[in-house]
Amino acid sequence: MTDVFYASYYGSSKQYADALAERLGVTAREISDESASLIDVSAAAPIIVLSPIHGPSHPGVKFVKELEKAGLVDKRRIALATVGMTLDDVVVAQDPAGELLGNLAERVERFYLPGRMNYSELRVKHRNIMKGLVTMLKMKPGKSKNDQMMIDTYGEDVDRVDLSRLDAIVEWVGNHT
């Protein structure tokens, strides 16, 4: 059976994980300290991990590294779906999850899904990070279109979650089951 795991601060990655799991006839499980040790190494179906990215902090990458330690990356196919606000074409070209995975990247299929950021619900810590980031971007000469998007949407509620984007992952699972 396919395993679907997720991490989520504000619910968008969970929303994708639940919708994906439903399409695959399984239940999505939140990543916990015990998750890696509970996975069946000998199952044939893939493991899919969905997670937000916050700059260099990526709970999904951290989890995939735990899967590697548990010997699962060589035994099961692994896909990592990163949920974020970076513009689609930009994030695919930058492949930040690939970068964070380092030499594990070639053994992990990466997907990128558009996320949701509601400034109205951000925790103080996250709000302050965004404030610092956008202040810096405003002073930056030669802003990229992604920089400009972050400046323009600062303080707003933006929901780009699009469940039809899961089609590509469902197709990948079909090809690896």
Ligand X SMILES: Cc1cc2nc3c(=O)[nH]c(=O)nc-3n(C[C@H](O)[C@H](O)[C@H](O)COP(=O)(O)O)c2cc1C
Taking CB under 6 A as the rule, does residue 149 contact ligand X?
A: no
Taking CB under 6 A as the rule, does residue 134 contact ligand X?
A: no
Among 46, 52, 59, 60, binds ligand X (CB under 6 A): 52
Considering the complex, what minimum distance in angstroms separates the CB of residue 108 from ligand X? 18
Instruction: Give residues with Cβ within 8 angstroms of 34, minimum separation 6.
Output: none
Torsion of CA 120, 124, 125, 128, to 10 degrees: 80
8 vs 70: CA distance, rounded Å: 23
Taking CB under 6 A as the rule, does residue 145 contact ligand X?
A: no
Q: Considering beta carbons, is residue 73 or 96 the nearer one to ligand X?
A: 96
145 vs 158: CA distance, rounded Å: 17
Task: Point out which residues bind ligand X (CB under 6 A).
Answer: 8-14, 52-55, 83-86, 91, 115-117, 122, 126, 129-130
